[in-house]
């Protein structure tokens, strides 16, 4: 039997009662070379697999300097700029809300307090994520980013719930609000939020990195809060209709909840080892079965380690006289080039291998 993690080849002559576990790798490594993969996946007679330099992938330190999901200084810089701006405006809106008596401003400053904490947490998560793997944490600390995103999603729910509760208290007896001052402060807050959002969009990965996206949603929630405060201030200034303040606050809270639900759902899906939404395991299986000599694909799993870093493991049953090295090389190329998965672990089997029923 041949076993490989992106081309770690080995022979195993003990087939009975076989159980496939990732920690078996260290017992069977023969040779692993990370160089010269730009020669298009060279594979020689010494059972050597080569990684693509453009990925910057290293199992020893999990350095991903070439990946599109790289936790690069740009991501950190974008977060830091947003953190400084958001923290400053948080204090402005908090004291402005106390002076004017506006729930919209106070709720927005409360949301900004959460944003400041979430941005700081996201920044810390990125620092932790680049720590190298250890014996106790073989995947490193990439999941810290997912935990940060989950926490940010929960705090968004808590803040939205507080806003709705406070708005309910004010709905039947809305207090008078200094709408003019409220609008000025809200306008400053909106400008700051837009600058922070622009900084993250320009310098960070707000689309595919769930950690950055959760921080981005916090900031956009603030921007919506500032827009709501401006609108409420305008209505109260023109019509003295002070119930507009709690009504608009509730609408903003509902919009915040919508974004928070998406982050929570994705973070939970990743933590539950769910298949990435961009991957169809049936398509992967069909692609592998097209390789000449492959008879069956089973125990196929695809999961996300962190945003932009997916992993795959599976068993390939091949014909008895087929070349396992050639098939393994082809399978690695198929998975990488067609499904953008660089962390692949494949076990090559033939009819002589017998193992028990796998639980998952």
Q: Mean pLDDT: which of 139-143, 201-205, 248-252, 268-272 is highest?
A: 268-272
Query: Quick one: pLDDT at residue 74?
Result: 60
Per the CB < 8 A criterion, the answer to whether 10 and 2 are in contact is: yes
Specify whether the CB–CB gap between 119 and 88 falls below 8 A: no
Question: Which residue spans of the chain are classified as CATH 3.30.300.30?
Answer: 1-29+273-360
The pLDDT tens digits for 27-70 are 333 333 333 333 343 334 333 333 333 333 333 334 333 344 44
Domain 1-29+273-360 listed as CATH 3.30.300.30 = yes
The kind and range of the H/E element at 201 are helix 179-203
State both tokens at 219: 């900031």
pLDDT of residue 335: 97
pLDDT, residue 48, reads 36
The per-residue pLDDT for 41 is 39
CB within 8 Å of 78: residues ≥ 6 apart: 199, 200, 202, 203, 204, 212
Instruction: Judge whether 360 and 33 are in contact, CB under 8 Å.
Output: no
Q: Tell me if 99 sits within 8 A of 214, measured CB to CB.
A: no
Q: What topology is assigned to 73-271 in CATH?
A: Alpha-lytic protease prodomain-like (1.20.1510)
275 — pLDDT class (breaks 50, 70, 90): very high
Paired strand residues for 355: 18
- Cα gap 335→312, rounded to integer Å: 9
- pLDDT of 120-137, one tens digit each? 888 888 888 888 888 998
pLDDT digits (tens, 9 = 90+) for 7-33: 444 444 333 333 343 333 333 333 333
pLDDT tens per residue, range 205-242: 777 788 888 888 878 877 888 888 889 889 988 888 88
What is the rounded CA–CA span in Å between residue 250 and residue 303? 37
User: Where in the sequence of the chain do the CATH 1.20.1510.10 domains occur?
Assistant: 73-271
Place of tokens 């306008």: 187
CB atoms within 10 A of CB 9: 23
Give the pLDDT score at 288: 97
pLDDT in the model for residue 254: 87
Average predicted confidence (pLDDT) for the chain: 77
Predicted local distance difference test score (pLDDT) of residue 299 = 94
Residue among 224, 234, 341, 359 at smallest CA distance from 288:
341
Q: How confident is the model over 96-111, as a mean pLDDT?
A: 73
Residue 315 has pLDDT above 80, yes or no: yes
pLDDT exceeds 60 at position 146: yes
Taken as a whole, the chain contains a residue count of 360
Tokens 């305008």 found at: 234
Question: Which is it for strands 294-306 and 309-318: parallel, antiparallel or unpaired?
Answer: antiparallel
Cα-trace Rg, the chain = 26
């Amino acid at each position: 039997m041949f076993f490989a993690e992106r081309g770690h080849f080995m022979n195993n002559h003990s087939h009975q009662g076989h159980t496939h576990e990732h920690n078996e790798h260290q017992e069977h490594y023969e040779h692993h070379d990370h160089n010269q993969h730009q020669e298009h996946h060279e594979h020689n007679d010494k059972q050597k697999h080569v990684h693509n330099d453009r990925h910057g992938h290293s199992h020893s330190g999990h350095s991903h300097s070439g990946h599109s999901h790289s936790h690069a200084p740009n991501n950190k810089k974008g977060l830091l700029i947003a953190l400084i701006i958001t923290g400053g405006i948080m204090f402005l809106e908090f004291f402005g809300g106390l002076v004017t008596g506006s729930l919209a401003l106070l709720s927005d400053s409360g949301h900004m307090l959460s944003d400041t904490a979430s941005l700081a947490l996201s920044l810390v998560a990125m620092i932790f994520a680049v720590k190298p793997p250890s014996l106790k944490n073989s995947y490193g600390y990439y999941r810290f980013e997912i935990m940060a995103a989950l926490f940010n999603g929960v705090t968004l729910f808590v803040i939205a719930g507080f806003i709705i509760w406070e708005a309910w208290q004010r709905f039947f007896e809305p207090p008078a609000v200094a709408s003019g001052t409220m609008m000025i402060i809200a306008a400053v807050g909106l400008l700051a939020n837009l600058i922070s959002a622009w900084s993250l969009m320009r310098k960070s990965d707000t689309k595919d990195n769930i950690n950055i996206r959760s921080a981005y949603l916090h900031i956009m929630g603030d921007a919506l809060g500032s827009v709501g405060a401006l609108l409420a201030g305008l209505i109260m200034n023109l019509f003295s209709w002070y119930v507009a303040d709690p009504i608009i606050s509730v609408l903003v809270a509902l919009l915040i909840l919508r974004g928070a639900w998406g982050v929570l759902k994705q973070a939970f899906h990743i933590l539950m080892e769910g298949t990435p939404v961009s991957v169809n395991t049936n398509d992967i299986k069909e692609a592998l079965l097209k390789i000449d000599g492959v008879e069956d694909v089973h125990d196929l799993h695809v999961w996300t380690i962190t945003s932009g870093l997916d992993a795959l493991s599976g068993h390939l049953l091949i014909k008895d006289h087929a070349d396992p090295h050639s098939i393994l090389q082809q399978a690695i190329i198929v998975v990488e080039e067609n499904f953008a998965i660089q962390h692949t672990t494949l076990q090559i089997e033939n009819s002589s291998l017998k193992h028990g029923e796998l639980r998952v």
